[in-house]
Structure 1
Amino acid sequence: MSGIDTVNAQILELLQSDGRMTNAKLAENLNMSETPCWRRLKKLEETGIIEGYQAHLNRRKLGLGVMAFVQLSCSEHDQAATAEFQRIIEVTPNILACHNTTGEDDFLLIVVARDLDDYSAFVDTTLRRLPGVTSIRSNLSLKEMKASSKLPVRVAER
């Protein structure tokens, strides 16, 4: 999809605020009938702009009181080591995000843990065992000032 028109932008904004919104409610909010609204929604899903729907969970209420931003440096960058590194990252639920970055370090991870002891064990049993890791630097979040997965949606200019 090359561009987002005003109606599609409104659909995306509404669904980012309430992913459980029914098509009927969505159509009502957009002042349009349900069938064209449903078609637009399906097109947004088919083109991959909408990748899925999920509930936002409160990590603290789930007992995950520690959030760490972890910078990793690696000595091995060959295809096999990279593939194994990525496989481990993808199957480790405590790692919420992993980005290959520019700068001094190779990767930036967002990690959650129950407490500092749990995080320490995670570093020992998981991060230190990743292939090629030569440096691990952690920054612990003291206060979460903003946490959002909502993306800014802009109408394509013509």
Structure 2
Amino acid sequence: MRKEIASEDLDGVDRTLLRLLQDDGTLSSSALGERLSMTVTPCWRRRKRLEDLGYIKDYQANLDRRKLGFDVLAFAQVRFGDHSTSAPDEFERVILRLPEVLSCHKVSGEADYVLTVLAADLESYGHFVEDVLRRQPGIASIQSSFALREIKAITRIPVPE
């Protein structure tokens, strides 16, 4: 069962605008207006409203990690030994500052956190684990898995009709 968007703030034009911007965040209000059969000003207002309401968080270019020298994509599962200390909170503060960590999720199950990490090679990833992760207080274990082949990697969120 799919949950619908929890807001009545969106109409069909808003949803189409969101889809178009996910496909190409560089579209100008003029180009968006053309595709939506709207003039520039109302189109700009809708876009601004969606930004103000938080539906559009930011804009970015999707880069090719391999062309930038990041051949290793790793998933690190981090488990803490004691959750009653401030160690997990400090860990989260450290992770927020690390550009090589693409995502960090607090999860249920065996691990407490799952990180997605980029590295140039296995040796670089090893240094990251030893020099960064293992130095964080309270960590009981770190288990790493590596992407052998990327099947699907998108950041687009499906916008319901």
Shared topology, TM-score over 0.5?
Answer: yes
Tell me the secondary structure at the aligned position of residue 35 of structure 2: helix
2:74 matches 1:68: yes
Question: Which of 62, 77, 94 is 2:100 aligned to?
Answer: 94
Please report how far the alpha carbon of residue 34 of structure 1 lies from its aligned counterpart in structure 2 after TM superposition: 1.2
Please report how far the alpha carbon of residue 35 of structure 1 lies from its aligned counterpart in structure 2 after TM superposition: 1.3
Mapped partners of 1:113, 1:105: distance in 2: 22
AA of the residue aligned to 2:125:
Y
C-alpha RMSD over aligned residues: 1.2
Please report how far the alpha carbon of residue 79 of structure 1 lies from its aligned counterpart in structure 2 after TM superposition: 6.0
Please report how far the alpha carbon of residue 82 of structure 1 lies from its aligned counterpart in structure 2 after TM superposition: 2.5
2:19 matches 1:13: yes
- Runs of 4 or more off by more than 3 Å in structure 1? none
Question: Which of 85, 104, 124 is 1:118 aligned to?
Answer: 124
Residue in structure 2 matched with residue 2 of structure 1 by the alignment: 7
2:138 matches 1:132: yes
AA of the residue aligned to 2:40:
E
Mapped partners of 1:23, 1:2: distance in 2: 24
Residue in structure 1 matched with residue 64 of structure 2 by the alignment: 58
Mapped partners of 1:32, 1:128: distance in 2: 55
Please report how far the alpha carbon of residue 32 of structure 1 lies from its aligned counterpart in structure 2 after TM superposition: 1.1
Contact 2:80 2:88 in 1 (8 A): no
Identity %: 46
What CA deviation, in whole Å up to 9, does each residue of 1:56-80 have, x standing for no partner? 1110000000000111111232463
Mapped partners of 1:19, 1:27: distance in 2: 14
TM-score, length of structure 1 as denominator length: 0.94
**Structure 1: unaligned runs, 5 residues or longer:** none
2:110 matches 1:104: yes
Contact 1:76 1:131 in 2 (8 A): no
AA of the residue aligned to 1:57:
L
TM-score, length of structure 2 as denominator length: 0.92
**Structure 2: unaligned runs, 5 residues or longer:** 1-5
Deviates more, 1:39-48 or 1:123-132: 123-132
Residue in structure 1 matched with residue 3 of structure 2 by the alignment: none
Mapped partners of 2:143, 2:31: distance in 1: 47
Tell me the secondary structure at the aligned position of residue 142 of structure 1: coil
What CA deviation, in whole Å up to 9, does each residue of 1:106-138 have, x standing for no partner? 111000000001011111001111221111111
